Every structure is written in structure tokens, then in C-alpha cells.
Structure 1
Amino acid sequence: MRAPEHILRVWHRFDGYPMETLTKAWYSLQPGEGGQRSVPEMKEHRERYGITGNCFDLAIWLLDDYRAEGITAYAVGHDLGSPMAHVAVVAEDETGRRYFCDLGDQWIQPILVDYEPYADSKEAHEGFITGGRIQVSLDASAQHVEFSYVRTGGKMSKQSFHLAPIAMENLLAAADHSQRLLRHPLVEHRLYLPGEVVHWEFDRWTSFFSRNGGLDREAQLHSNEEWAQRIHRISGIDFQVVLQALNIYSALTVE
């Protein structure tokens, strides 16, 4: 189920890259800017400010890196054009077997989709998501996959993807829509600790660690300046960028 080394080599370039919605708020302040950034822009902003972007940014960037290495890859997703939109990447090995690569949800590593034993097994696999295990169900057409996230204590959630490639023009249109949609501040970041990969999350002015043993909630803070310091310390994103983004989100009224 582990991806081959050439697919993993590209994937691991993004190990220190958080998924975050701060960038699109900050980018909306730049003169004449807004919408989906190009890969060269993303690389420049990463170098200057430590920012990465949301699931669209990361998927488009990962796609570009895979294709530059001669690896067949394409975007997949669900609910495009809506606030629930999410995209990931499928990369293929030399035999055409597909590996699901989700930087947006900060998976630890890609997972093999084309695996015959999935059809007859409810086994939950470790080492792909933090703080839990993953079940994979591929339908008979091999064009629809469902992931069941089994958390510590038995809590389960599900997510489904159509595996048909999203055309680049449709991907960019959905990405542009998402980048202009400001709703809530969110930062998710994998932290590689001795013996464990930990998932840190900031969501609407709360933050917590997801560990193998469960959730570890952090102390509540009381100002955007304090939150910006915490986010900067964990993610490495420029303090001023974080603070500007949080101030934008604070001014919004979103249900």
C-alpha cells in the first residue's frame, strides 16, 4: 500500500507545508490581486513569507511537481464551486496503479487506491493519517472511493471522491472561486516528532494537537496578536501575514 519511492520523493517535499486559509485573506490585500496564484507565485511567497495555501494551492503545486518529474498525476475532488469544495491529487505508478495524495487534509503519505483486498476487508490501516486509521472502499466501477477515518475511541467519519480527473480549466475555475471565498481562518500542520506524526490545527480561534492518544487542546488566547504568535511559532508563517489575515477574518460575519 506504500507508494513507490519516486512518488514519495515528490510528496515529501511538502512535509513542512501547512494547509491554511490565511494566505487567501492576506493575498486579497495585495494591490490588484486575489484569486488563484500561479505555482511560481506560490514558490516565491513560500520563500518570503512561509505561506503555502489551501487545498487548491497545494494540489496545483503538487501536480506541477509530479508532472515535472514525468509522473502521471491529476486532480480529483468533490463539491467544486461550493464552500465544501475539496481537492486532492492522484498519482500513477508505471503500471497505472493509483495513489491518493491529500496535502489539503495533511495526510502523512499517499495511499494505494487500486488494491483488490479492499473489496472484502474492513481493515483500518495505520500510518496514513494522524490520530487514527483509514479504511478504503473502492466501488465496482473503480471510479469512486470512500475513506472512513477511524479515530481514537472508535469515532468515525467518511469522505468520498470521484476519481475521474478534473480538467485543468475546471480545476483553476474552482480554485479561483475558493480563493475569493473568505469564511473562517484555518491552519493544519503535520509535525514530525520522534516516533509519531502529530497534527496541529487552528480553527476559528481554537487550537489543538491530534495525537495517537487523542486530542490535546491548547489554552485559549484572547487577541489576534497572541494567536498570530502561536501560529507563527508552530507553522513558521510570517507573523505579520498571520496577523493581517486574522484581522480580516475577525471583521467577517460568517455562519
Structure 2
Amino acid sequence: MRATQDILEIWRKFNDFPMETITKGWYSQISLGDKQRSVELMKQHREQYGTSGNCFDLSIWLIDEFRKNKLNCYAIFTPHSHVAVVVINEEGNKYLCDLGDQWIEPILIDRQHEAYTEQFLDGFFPGTQIRLKVLLDHLVVTYKRPNGKHSKQRFDLTPISDNELLAAGEKTQRKLSTPLVEKRLFLENQVAHWEFDNYKSFTSYQTGREKEVQLDSIEEWANRISRMSGINEEVVLKSLQVYLEKEGKHVN
């Protein structure tokens, strides 16, 4: 079920990239025009500030990298405005690539392939087993956490055109809800998953979730997020201020 080396070499360029909406909040204040950034601008921001982006940013960037390496690929959507990428290797096999949800590796989604299975698998999603069910026009992913809890996600396998992808990205970038940061942690014996959501943070391991000590100020949160994600602390702080003002809330 693992991807071939040509795909993995490109995928691994993004191993240190968090999925984050910090950039969305920050960039909303410095751009008067389009909110969906170009790949060139995303690269510039990453070099200057350590940012990466949300699922649309990461998918657009990943598609660009695949195509530069002569691999056919396209975006697919879920019903809830999440986007991932399908890439096709030289043998014509299709793989799901989901940087937005911080998967560890791409995974085979060809039912006819001899390696395809619908058993629960380790090593594809941090701290969680996954199971695929590929149907004619959609894919269902089942996640099984260490506590036994199950959840499902459905992807429409219809290819999304580049224009549709950019339009959907622009729409999403203009919506500010709550700041979110997710980051894979490549440890010695496993890949864990760190997350900041609604002013709580925790790390998910193979053995379960460990909550972090609650913080009291936006400055403390900016410091923690910056340390865990690699994003410039000043950028994080400015973004958190934008979100709080939008929501009319305080951290405490």
C-alpha cells in the first residue's frame, strides 16, 4: 500500500511542513487582493517566516512539485471543504496524498492492485490505524484511535480542475474561524502528531493523547506554537490577534 520511491521522494520534501491556518490570519491583513497565495509566494514566506499553510496551500504546492517531476496528479475534495491530492506513478497506480491532515505517507487507492487491502494499517497516519474502502466514485477512510474510537472521512474521487481548486482555495482563505496548527513529529520509534486547536494543545502518540499544560496569555501561546511549528513568533502573535479580534474573544 506504500507509494513508490518517485512519489515518496517528493512527499518527503514536506515532512517538516505543518498544516496551519496561522498564515491565513496573518496574510489576511497584508494582502488587499487575492488571498490564495501562489506557490512562488508560499516558498518566499516559508523561507522568510517558516510558514506553510492550510490544506489548500499544501495541496497546490504539492501538485506543483509533482508536476515539475513529470507525475500526473490532481486535487480531490471532501464534502467539508477539505482537499487532498491523487498522484499517479509511472505504472499508472493511484495514491492518496493528504498533507492537510498530516498523513505520514501517501497510500495506494487502486482496488485492482495486488497490494490493495481493506484491513486496518499502521504507519500511514500518526498515532492512528487507518482502513480504506475504495468505491466507484468515492473513497472512505476509517480512523481507529488507540482508545478504540472510530471516525470516517469521505473523499469524492472526481478530479478537480486547477481553476476549481484555486477558486475554492480563495473562498476558504477568506474565511477566518479559529486558528489551527498540526505538525507531524518524527521521533525515534514513531511519528507523533502535535496539535493546537481552540487554545488547547496536545500530542497524539501510538499509546494515546497527552495534553499539554494550559497557557494564560496570547504571548505564551505564540511562543509555544512557534517552537513546535517553526513559524516566526511575531507572525504567530499577529495572526492570533487577528483571530481573537474577529471572534471578539480573549484567551482567558
Q: Normalising by structure 1, what TM-score?
A: 0.94
In structure 2, the residue matched to 1:102 is 98
Q: Which runs of 4+ in 1 moved over 6 A?
A: none
Q: How many residues align?
A: 248
1:1-255 mapped onto 2 (5 Å cutoff): 1-79=1-79, 84-116=80-112, 122-139=118-135, 141=136, 143-253=137-247
1:154 deviates by: 1.2
2:76 aligned counterpart, secondary structure: strand
Tell me the C-alpha RMSD between the 2 structures.
1.7
Structure 1's unaligned 5+ residue stretches are none
1:253 deviates by: 2.6
Contact 1:232 1:242 in 2 (8 A): yes
Structure 2's unaligned 5+ residue stretches are none
1:40 deviates by: 0.1
Q: Identity, % of aligned pairs? A: 48
Counterparts of 2:106 and 2:118, CA distance in 1: 19
1:188 aligned counterpart, secondary structure: strand
Counterparts of 2:54 and 2:128, CA distance in 1: 22
Letter of the 2:49 partner, please give it.
Y
Letter of the 1:68 partner, please give it.
K
1:122 deviates by: 4.7
Q: Deviations over 1:16-44 (max 9, x none)?
A: 00000010110011152451000000000
1:4 deviates by: 0.4
Counterparts of 2:113 and 2:11, CA distance in 1: 25
Q: Deviations over 1:116-148 (max 9, x none)?
A: 489x96510110001111000011x2x211000
